[in-house]
Amino acid sequence: MSPEPTNGDLRVGVFVCDCGLNIAGTVDCGAVTAYAETLPDVICAVRNKYTCADPGQNEIKTAIHKHKLNRVVVASCTPRMHEPTFRQCVLEAGLNPYLMEMANLREHCSWVHPGDREGATAKAMDLVASAVAKARLLEPQEEMEVPVTKRALVIGGGVAGIEAALELADAGHPVTLVEKEASIGGIMAQLDKTYPTMDCSI
């Protein structure tokens, strides 16, 4: 398949993370960085030791300013962990947070293919290419804000539920505690003495 036509306005930066040896121990991060530079609209590709640490994030911000990047790809770990981190990072550099895309080179690659450097590196390149392909089509998005009703529901009136409800109420929040039995107390109310202090349960 031929790549999408190059759009002169697109300026993608790719940041490949070693994650110490977590990724670099298995994936040839240098080769992945070099490959990223060949992808359409990629203006710069940078390799970091720890992209999520301050120096790594600063490098992203610096590159955004220096190269006038308008799309960012972070090739590091799972977006389920650090997507909020890097969205915040590009936001601080003046980019809309939705112009950042991640490639998961750690949980989905280096950690599961430790014996296959070649295979893992090829896979990492594809994951970066995939993220760049998406990044080129990303658009800025505005998040909607929805008010939160200032009341909490606690389901279950055992020791955990009672404690949570009291804590919330002490903090000034209205709380509704629901319990299926006729009394709160749960299983703990049926115990005699409790460890480690041998005091009564009730």
Partner 1 sequence: MTQPDEYQMGLSSRKAIYIPFPQAVPCSYILDMEHCLGNNPIACGKCQDVCEKQAINYDDADEVITREVGAIIVAIGLDVYDPTEMDEYGYTRYDNVITSMEFERLICAGGPTAGHFVRPGDSQRPKRIGFVQCVGSRNPKIGRPWCSNICCMNTVKDTLLLADHYPDVENVVYYQDIRAFGKSFEDMFQRSKEAGTRYVRGLPGDVEENPTNGNLLVTVENTTSGKLERHELDMLVLSVGVEPPKDLAKISGLLTLSKTSDGFLMESHPKLKPVDAPTRGVYFAGFCESPKDIKDSVCQAGAAASRAGALLNAGKITIEAITSQIDAESCTKCGVCARVCPYGAIQWKKGEVAVVIEAACAGCGACGAACQFGSITMRHFTDAQLVAQVRAIMAEKPKEKVMVFACNWCSYAGGDMAGISRIQYPATNRVMRTMCSARVSEDMVLEAFRVGAPIVLVSGCHYADCHYINANRQTVQRVQRLWNKLEKAGVRPERLQLEWISAAEGQKFAQVMKQMEELRQTVTDEEIAHAMEALKPKPKKKPKPKAEPAAAAAP
How many chain residues interact with partner 1 (CB under 8 A)?
Answer: 84
- Compare residues 13 and 62 and give the one whose CB is closer to partner 1: 13
Ranges within 4-33 binding partner 1 (CB under 8 A): 4
- Compare residues 94 and 195 and give the one whose CB is closer to partner 1: 195
Q: Does 104 bind partner 1 (CB under 8 A)?
A: yes
Query: Residue 83 contacts by C-beta under 8 Å, 6 or more apart in sequence?
Result: 100, 102
- Compare residues 25 and 59 and give the one whose CB is closer to partner 1: 25
What is the distance between the alpha carbons of residues 132 and 66, in angstroms, rounded to a whole number?
19
Based on the number of CB atoms within 10 Å of its own CB, is 2 exposed (0-12), middle (13-18) or buried (19 or more)? exposed
What Å distances lie between residue 62 and 68, 70, 126, CA to CA?
10, 13, 26
The closest alpha carbon to 76, from 100, 48, 42, belongs to: 48
- In this chain, which of 8, 54, 94, 195 binds partner 1, going by CB under 8 A? 195
- One-letter amino acid at 131 equals A
Instruction: Write the DSSP symbol of residue 67.
Output: T
Q: Does 183 bind partner 1 (CB under 8 A)?
A: yes
Q: Does 113 bind partner 1 (CB under 8 A)?
A: yes
Ranges within 130-169 binding partner 1 (CB under 8 A): 130-134, 136-139, 141-165, 167-168
Q: Tell me the closest approach of the beta carbon of residue 143 to partner 1, in angstroms.
A: 4
Contact 105, 127 (CB under 8 A): yes
Ranges within 50-89 binding partner 1 (CB under 8 A): 78-81
